[in-house]
Amino acid sequence: METLKGIRLNVGPVHPATHGVLKVVVDIEGDTVNKAQVEMGFLHRGKEKMAEVRYFSNYYPIVDKLDYVSAINMEVLYASLVEKAAGIEIPPRAVYIRTIMAEIQRIMSHLVYIGSIGEDLGNITGMFWALRERELLMDLVEEVSGGRLAPMYMTTGGSFYDLPQHFDEKAEKALVRVETKINKDYNSMFTKNQLFLMRTKGVGVLDRYMVKKYGITGPNMRAAGIDRDLRKSEPYLAYDKVDFDVVTGEDGDANSRFMVRVGEILQSIRIVRQCLRDLPEGPYVTKTPWLMKIPDKRTFVRQETPRGEMAMYMITNGGTQPYRLKIRSPTFFALRALEEILVGVKVADIVVTIASLDPVMGEVDR
């Protein structure tokens, strides 16, 4: 039997710092972590299995509950999967609408990240600020879809509704507010705040070797200096028609992960503005039957969601439902790395290390 030196501490599964029902067991000697074990699965709901008993068009409410902080991105991914399998081409206007809403959702997701780290470090004002700006974008999502956290806006062939009148004006007003706050108030609150820098610089380092070892993607990967973004390397939707930069960091620590997401908010604002400017006229959806059959085939789609490369692999057998659906969660791989990056971390920095990976357990446990 292993002999424990020091203290064994359970962080979670119900703990505000874990951003969901995640459990991390850490062995501590003094004020330093010697060993960490990550336990997941507390939020497993059988999302992949559910697909086997639902029509292709009836699975959209389920994907909203995967990464529930960026539900529209989940809807776009699943819609793209079904459309690729069924050979459905969506109209140009639908392509741009999906790009606009996916990037608005990315901004909202990153604002939750910023606010959560602020709260985890005792800066409750940062949380209130982030939610204040997010609410402006949430109003846009509610206006186009009627929903907020689970909008159910996308459908096979396009979207349920067109963008409402004057949406571009309302979106620009919200984007200007977010951009101004990021460049001014958030800089003073976070990026130029010496206390924040002391708590995040050199903390929870995830270097290039570990990125490749654990298969980590998205902002957590780019914070280590790896320039890879599916929106650039494998363009989909309207990403090959807009100009934006891939934001990367250098140090792979909590601060770099934070700064990458801050930079991505500004790049997403650029993308939304270009798409609104170039939004084509025409239909916003290709009409498809509610019940459709997809022949025997295997279909794979991956996209750059706010937490990294999320993928879906579907097997169909000629029926009206998927025969098998497999979902790749980017956060799952990031959390596996916790067992390595937490070693040597101070007890006080466990919280910010977990938060800096931006976990959403609905996507992880599925």
SS (H, E, C) the chain: CCCCCCEEEEECCEEHHHCEECEEEEEEECCEEEEEEEECCCCCCCHHHHHHHCCHHHCHHHHCCCCCCCHHHHHHHHHHHHHHHHCCCCCHHHHHHHHHHHHHHHHHHHHHHHHHHHHHCCCHHHHHHHHHHHHHHHHHHHHHHCCCCCCCCEECCEECCCCCCCHHHHHHHHHHHHHHHHHCHHHHHHHCCHHHHHHHCCCCCCCHHHHHHHCCCCHHHHCCCCCCCHHHHCCCCCHHHCCCCCCCCCCCCHHHHHHHHHHHHHHHHHHHHHHHHCCCCCCCECCCCCCCCCCCEEEEEEEEECCEEEEEEEEECCCCCCCEEEEECHHHHHHHCHHHHCCCCEHHHHHHHHHHCCCCHHHHHC
CATH number at residue 323: 1.10.645.10
Is residue 358 in some structural domain? no
The CA-atom distances, in angstroms, between 54 and each of 10, 48, 51 are 38, 11, 5
- Which pLDDT score, from 0 to 100, does residue 273 have? 94
How many separate domains does the chain show?
Answer: 1
- Which pLDDT score, from 0 to 100, does residue 190 have? 84
Is residue 16 in some structural domain? no
Residues of the chain where predicted confidence (pLDDT) is lower than 50: 1
Is residue 21 in some structural domain? no
Q: Are 100 and 275 in contact (CB under 8 A)?
A: yes
Is residue 152 in some structural domain? yes
- Which pLDDT score, from 0 to 100, does residue 251 have? 86
Domain of 65 in residue numbering reads as 48-340
State pTM to two decimals: 0.92
- Which pLDDT score, from 0 to 100, does residue 75 have? 92
Q: Would you say the C-alpha torsion 43, 215, 149, 96 has a positive or negative sign?
A: negative
Is residue 72 in some structural domain? yes
- Which pLDDT score, from 0 to 100, does residue 2 have? 56
Distance CA 28, CA 9 (A): 7
Is residue 54 in some structural domain? yes
- Which pLDDT score, from 0 to 100, does residue 312 have? 93
- Which pLDDT score, from 0 to 100, does residue 1 have? 42
- Which pLDDT score, from 0 to 100, does residue 324 have? 94
Is residue 313 in some structural domain? yes
Distance CA 74, CA 65 (A): 9
Q: Are 61 and 152 in contact (CB under 8 A)?
A: yes
Distance CA 11, CA 26 (A): 8
Task: List residues bridging with 324 in a β-sheet.
Answer: 315
Is residue 6 in some structural domain? no
